[in-house]
Amino acid sequence: MSLKTAVPQAPAQRLKKPSWKDPRLLVGILLVLASVAGVTALVAGAEKSTNVLVAARDLPVGTALETDDFDVVPVRLGTLEGAYMPAGEKIPDGAVAGALIRSGELLVRADLATSDQLDRKPLGLDVETPLPSGIRSGDRVDVWASLPDGRNGFSEPRKLLEAAEISEIAVAESVIAGPDATRLLVLVEDADLPALLGALSNQAKIAVVPNPSLR
C-alpha cells in the first residue's frame, strides 16, 4: 500500500480595501475632479454674456470710427470673445473701417484699420441711369465710361472697373423723375485710378452694371 503525500494548498487571496494612500486611487480622483471642473468652466463660459459694440448704421470702408457710431449689446460669444471689440475698450485713435460694416453687425477687431493700410480708395461717381432695384452698399458692379467724341455724342463704352465694391450710395429724391445723377462711392485700387480719373476729367458718361460674381 503506497502512501501519497498531500500537497498543501495556497491560501486564498483576499481583496483588500483601497487605501487613501494608494496612488492609483488618488490619480483616479484627480482625473474625475479635473473632468468636472472642465465641464463646469465650459458651461459657465458658454453662458457668460459680454457687452460688445454693434454698428448703429452702415459704415463704408474708410469711415473714421467713433464711439457714437456704435450701440452696446450683450451677447454670448464663448471662445470667440477675443475676436470682437468689447464695449469697455476704447476704439484706437485714427481707426477706420477696413471693410463694410453693416448696421446691426458686431465690430470685429479685424475690421479696424488705418487710412494708410487701405489698398482701395473710395471714389465718387455720378451715374445718370437709374440703378437696378435692390442694389446696395457692399454689392459689386462693373464700371463703364463713354468719352465725348467731339461731335456732340459719345464714343463706344469702355469697361474701366470690374467687380468694384460699392462703398456708399446717395440717391436724390428727384432721380426717378429727372436726369439727376445717383452718387456712388466705389472702392478703387491705386492701379485703376489713372484711367478712371482721366475719364471723369473728360466729362465721360459713367454707367454701372451689377456683377454678382463676388457678392
CATH number at residue 105: 3.90.1210.10
Nearest to 20 by CA among 12, 11, 31, 29: 29
State whether 55 and 76 are in the same domain: yes
Nearest to 207 by CA among 167, 147, 120, 152: 147
The domain of 98 spans 50-115
CA distances from 97 to 82, 86, 125, 174 (A): 18, 16, 21, 31
d(CA 164, CA 195): 14
State whether 125 and 171 are in the same domain: yes
d(CA 102, CA 91): 18
State whether 126 and 207 are in the same domain: yes
Give the three-class secondary structure for 85.
Answer: coil
d(CA 125, CA 193): 12
pLDDT at 172: 56
State whether 72 and 108 are in the same domain: yes
- Residue located via cell numbers 463646469: 40
State whether 144 and 98 are in the same domain: no
Report field, pTM of the whole predicted structure over 0.95: no
Model confidence over 166-178: pLDDT tens digits? 988 876 554 443 4
State whether 111 and 126 are in the same domain: no
Per the domain annotation, does 4 fall within a domain? Answer: no
Per the domain annotation, does 196 fall within a domain? Answer: yes
State whether 131 and 175 are in the same domain: yes
Query: Is 52:72 a contact under the CB 8 Å cutoff?
Result: yes
Per the domain annotation, does 18 fall within a domain? Answer: no
Which residues are paired to 161 by β-bridges?
143
Grid coordinates given for 177 = 423723375
Per the domain annotation, does 84 fall within a domain? Answer: yes
Backbone angles phi, psi at 158, to 5 degrees: -130, 135
Q: How many domains does the chain have?
A: 2
Of 28-32, 39-43, 104-108, 174-178, the range with the lowest mean pLDDT is 174-178
State whether 169 and 139 are in the same domain: yes
Model confidence over 41-80: pLDDT tens digits? 555 555 578 899 999 999 988 889 999 999 999 998 888 8
